[in-house]
Amino acid sequence: MGKWMDGYLERLETNHRENELGGGEERIGIQHGLGKLTARERIEKLVDPGSFEVLGSLVRDPYQQKVPEQRLSPSDGVVMGNATVHGRQVAIYSLDFTVMSGALGDQGAWKMAELVEMAGKERKPVIGIFDSAGSRIGFKGGFPGLNGLGQLVRNYCLYSGVIPQIALLLGPCTGPLAQVPVLSDFLIINENTGFLWMGGAIESEDAGTAAFHMEESGQCDLLAGSDEEALELTRNLLEYIPQNCWQKPVPIESTDDPERREEALLEVMPDNPKFTYDMHEIIELIVDNGEFFELKADYAPNLIIGFTRFDGVAVGIVASNPEELSGIMEPDSSDKYDKFMMFLDAFNIPLVNISDTTAYPPGDKWERKGVIRHGAKNLHGYSHMTNQKITLVLRRSYGGSNITMGCSKMGPDYVFGWPTVEFAPTGPESIVQAIFHKELAKAREEGNYEEVYNMFLTPLKESMSVMNLGRVYTTYYTVNEVIDPRNTRAYVVRALRASMDKHEELPEKRRFIKPA
């Protein structure tokens, strides 16, 4: 070995040893005692074996040399680099809680910001793993400032819709850094150790927890019972999404017959429309092998969203769920729908809407919650989508929700309806009550209320039936075909094949302005 290398390799090896130990054996033991993996263990379990190539390993806290009593800061608390998952390139960073409780330092922020920019330019997903006490403060040398964090936030925003962005919250994340996981396309939280909070007083026991962000704030997409489960969910999620906005998800060879006729579909929906059913049963009967990767399952459960496959092709499903609030479209479900449809459109993933809803809820309570503007976001978003879009209408399609869920004039490629479908401006029961209230009041007094009520309701429901409306193809309530429910899967598969090479252009503009 040449003399010019004397000492350099030893120093490099020392750097590697420091990085491997992070905050030291004691801190690693504490991390494991909390049921958490270390930053490096998380990366190694997520990526393909042996594929991780570290970047920025020499970086240290710049104040360390000035403050001798300052603890070591290997990699400045951020382990990052490139790797593969399922053989696909990804960029990944993981905050190291063993180093100063994962508190974000100045150089760590810049490292993360640069990695996101690199991922954007190299057109590959970026995955961030968060386990941090917040920003690094309270040491000699002062607060590192927000420039690096500002650049990180900006890069996330600039490359939104260019590359998929996935965040895993496996420990705490507080202060300004808490914005970054939520800027990601998907947020997976360990329900035992995850904690997300911007700041201010905590006034409830569940504030900031995984359940809080799944059920209340709606900021969580997937819950995990452990770090290992969160990492496995991430691997599963990546299978449904492409590398970037210029590609489509890679199809797989399906083991499920694309023409499968499903007799069980006739047994799910109750005969009486007053009774509900669980839309999950419909979904599982028509998709490949009954596999559905649901997102935000416990937030606004009246609307179901998630990924699945039809004949090996990855699609996103948005479905009303009559079992929850009769499948109404209210503000929370509208927000849930909005972000998901934007992701699908950005990354060329087909959207399949399955509609059975009684429309938007009326009344002062919902108007105060902004039901109009939240619903308007969905209308605005759907109108700008150019990906493949297929609508299935199963039973009730009332009011504005008919439009929101992809009616014929909103630009879906295909609309299919079961023969049970009713299209109406509002529920026929409400119309009968409003128009014939005097006759019904008299019938109640005379003891023949049900007879009179059904006398008015039956012909009205018949007039709203797709079997009647479908006779005129150019009506407002148009379907391309009324189908046998048992053949639903085959119709979706064929529609996806027929529209796979579609080309749709929007009016030229600088950008669109979504309702607030």
For 470-513, the three-class secondary structure string (H helix, E strand, C coil) is CCCCCCCCCCCEECCHHHHHHHHHHHHHHCCCCCCCCCCCCCCC
Note the pLDDT tens digit of each residue in 239-264.
999 999 999 999 999 999 999 999 99
Q: What angle do CA 300, 306, 310 make, to 5 degrees?
A: 145
Question: Is the pLDDT at 340 greater than 60, yes or no?
Answer: yes
Give me the DSSP letters along 15-57: HHHHHHHTT-HHHHHHHHHTT---HHHHHHHHSPTT--EEE-T
Note the pLDDT tens digit of each residue in 45-59.
999 999 999 999 988
What is the C-alpha separation between 230 and 286, in angstroms, rounded?
27
Count other C-beta atoms under 10 Å from residue 144's C-beta: 24
**Pair type for strands 53-55 and 165-169:** unpaired
pLDDT, mean of residues 469-491 = 85
Count other C-beta atoms under 10 Å from residue 332's C-beta: 19
- At residue 69 the predicted structure's pLDDT band, cuts being 50, 70 and 90, is low
Note the pLDDT tens digit of each residue in 172-219.
999 999 999 999 999 999 999 999 999 888 888 898 998 999 999 999
Handedness of CA 374, 216, 368, 328 (dihedral sign): positive
pLDDT, mean of residues 280-300 = 98
What is the C-alpha separation between 314 and 308, in angstroms, rounded?
6
What is the C-alpha separation between 516 and 249, in angstroms, rounded?
31
Phi, psi of 403 (to 5 degrees): -70, -45
Question: Is the pLDDT at 78 greater than 70, yes or no?
Answer: yes
Q: What is the pLDDT of residue 145?
A: 61
Note the pLDDT tens digit of each residue in 412-434.
999 999 999 988 877 777 787 88
pLDDT, mean of residues 423-451 = 83
What domains can you pick out in the chain, each with its CATH number?
Answer: 3-238 (3.90.226.10), 265-421+465-498 (3.90.226.10), 427-464 (no CATH)
Taking alpha carbons only, the member of 411, 185, 416 closest to residue 305 is: 185
What is the C-alpha separation between 324 and 310, in angstroms, rounded?
26
**82 touches 55 (CB < 8 A):** yes
Q: What is the pLDDT of residue 407?
A: 85
Task: From residue 124, give the alpha-carbon distance in Å to each of 120, 169, 192, 315, 421.
Answer: 7, 21, 30, 20, 43
